[in-house]
């Protein structure tokens, strides 16, 4: 368990205490809706010590405007790390440091698609990614998704239908490893098929690879980016799950023309790279070995929490309920035999538990069911094991089960 400084002494205003973080804990509530890390798993003391090391090592250059593509020490560290955790490392000019996956996806929507173009997404998919994409003048088109991940064989007909109507596809956004919200992983066969089809159809893929480091049952599968020819995939990675989300540090890998497109934006030349000092801190963590040890610690903790959550579901859920058994990440997808999880949520919250209804992870454009998991979404929900101890996970599922069993 990490130790923390006092959380007292936050700034006060006439209206009360100013908020410090997004998640506000409610006494007596164990809400499994939140895909946030447990504060006790955040390496406060280690990061505090290495922050001093970083400032002493880089001096004033740690506090000035950063290089548009990100600081060289972190780019070099990412090259080394992906050489160990993926099937091939990127070259330094194939990397841009970002302000996290969400910021990178925002830039993808701006730079890789034109107004009116179609963005393909899995149904279900990460709900905040849907919100980011919907904030742009783009059309979102859902694709079928099942236990093996994206149903690739439906793509040719979808692309043909879109193109026959005179529209163009900007890119396909996909989460192949430890998918949010389902925890599922795209099969090897479908990875190959997706890349072959993308090459034949000249389709750009945007791969959200945020959970790569949180693989519990062996190495994570190779990224689509590492298997694809240059220019076919933009992969988004992050240190939010493997180190700390508050650092707001991530990266993307792409071919050189695309990384130059990202790093050539005027706002970067005006203000420098996002999260320059935190990026140097992450680089220090990696060079000193702290990052690698932290990943192993998180893998062990989350593996234990996954087991506690899945065992509790087996004991507490109504007969006929099913759920995914993810090999990594933060989440499992639970499907009831009947019922509307939106209508059931209030009673679950009153009992001191919580989840996110499955329908939240479908785009608004998904007015008709697109594949098995989209059809199940009204009676499904997402649970996160990341924030709470095994004991609290068991108690939350117990409370939930009492409500759902009626």
Pick the CATH number of 49-290 from 3.30.1490.100, 3.40.640.10, 3.40.50.150, 3.50.50.60: 3.40.640.10
8 Å CB contact between 367 and 323: no
Structural domain boundaries in the chain: 12-45+292-404, 49-290
Per residue in 13-50, pLDDT (tens digit) is 445 578 888 888 889 999 999 999 999 999 999 999 99
Per residue in 65-88, pLDDT (tens digit) is 999 999 999 999 999 999 999 999
8 Å CB contact between 334 and 397: no
Rounded percentage of the chain residues whose pLDDT exceeds 90: 90
CATH architecture of 12-45+292-404: Alpha-Beta Complex (3.90)
Per residue in 112-153, pLDDT (tens digit) is 999 999 999 999 999 999 999 999 999 999 999 999 999 999
Task: Please count the other Cβ atoms lying within 10 Å of the Cβ belonging to residue 212.
Answer: 24
Strand partners, 123: none
pLDDT of res. 19:
84
pLDDT of res. 12:
52
pLDDT of res. 367:
52
DSSP output for 193-262: HHHHHHHHHT--EEEE-TTTT-BSSSSPPPPHHHHSPTTSEEEEEESTTTT-GGG--EEEE--HHHHHHH
Measuring CA to CA, which residue among 147, 144, 141 is closest to residue 170?
141
CB-based burial of residue 269 (10 Å sphere; 0-12 exposed, 13-18 middle, 19+ buried)?
exposed
Per residue in 4-13, pLDDT (tens digit) is 444 444 455 4
Per residue in 241-259, pLDDT (tens digit) is 999 999 999 999 999 999 9
Residue 226 has pLDDT above 50, yes or no: yes
Residue 293 has pLDDT above 80, yes or no: yes
C-alpha distances (whole Å) from 261 to each of 11, 156, 174, 187, 292 are 41, 29, 21, 31, 31
Give the C-alpha separation, 218 to 224, whole Å: 18
8 Å CB contact between 347 and 403: yes
Task: Name the pLDDT band for 366 (thresholds 50, 70, 90).
Answer: low
118-122/139-143 β-pairing:
parallel
pLDDT of res. 39:
95
Query: DSSP letter at 123?
Result: S
């Amino acid at each position: 368990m990490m130790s923390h400084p006092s959380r007292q002494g936050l700034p006060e205003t006439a209206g009360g205490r100013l908020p410090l973080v997004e998640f506000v804990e409610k006494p007596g509530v164990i809400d499994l809706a939140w895909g946030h890390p447990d504060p006790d798993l955040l390496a406060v003391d280690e990061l505090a010590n290495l922050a001093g090391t970083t400032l002493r090592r880089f001096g004033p250059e740690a506090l000035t405007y950063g290089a548009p593509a990100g600081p060289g020490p972190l780019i070099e560290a990412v090259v080394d790390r992906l050489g160990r955790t993926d099937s091939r490392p990127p070259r330094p000019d194939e990397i841009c440091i970002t302000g996290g996956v969400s910021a990178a996806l925002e830039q993808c929507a701006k730079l890789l698609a034109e107004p009116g173009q179609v963005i393909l997404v899995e149904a279900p998919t990460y709900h905040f990614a849907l919100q980011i994409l919907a904030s742009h003048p783009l059309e979102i088109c859902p694709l079928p998704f099942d236990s093996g991940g994206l149903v690739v064989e439906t793509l040719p007909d979808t692309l043909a239908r879109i193109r026959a109507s005179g529209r163009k596809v900007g890119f396909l956004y996909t989460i192949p490893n430890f998918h949010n919200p389902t925890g599922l992983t795209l099969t090897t066969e479908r990875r190959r098929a997706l890349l072959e089809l993308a090459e034949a159809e000249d389709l750009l893929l945007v791969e959200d690879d945020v959970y790569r480091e949180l693989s519990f049952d062996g190495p994570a599968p190779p990224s689509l980016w590492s298997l694809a020819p240059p220019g076919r995939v933009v992969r988004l990675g992050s240190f939010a799950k493997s180190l700390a989300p508050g650092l707001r540090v991530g990266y993307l890998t792409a071919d050189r023309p695309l990384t130059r497109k990202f790093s050539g934006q005027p706002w970067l030349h005006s203000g420098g790279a996002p999260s320059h000092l935190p990026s140097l801190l992450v680089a220090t963590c990696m060079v000193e070995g702290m990052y690698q040890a932290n990943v192993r610690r998180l893998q062990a903790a989350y593996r234990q929490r996954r087991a506690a959550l899945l065992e509790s579901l087996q004991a507490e859920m109504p007969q006929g309920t099913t759920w995914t058994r993810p090999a990594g990440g933060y989440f499992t997808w639970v499907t009831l035999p009947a019922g509307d999880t939106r209508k059931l949520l209030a009673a679950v919250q009153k009992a001191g538990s919580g989840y996110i209804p499955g329908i939240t992870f479908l785009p608004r454009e998904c007015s008709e069911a697109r594949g098995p998991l989209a059809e199940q979404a009204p009676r499904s929900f997402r649970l996160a094991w990341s924030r709470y101890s095994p004991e609290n996970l068991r108690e939350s599922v117990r409370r939930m089960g009492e409500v759902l069993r009626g």
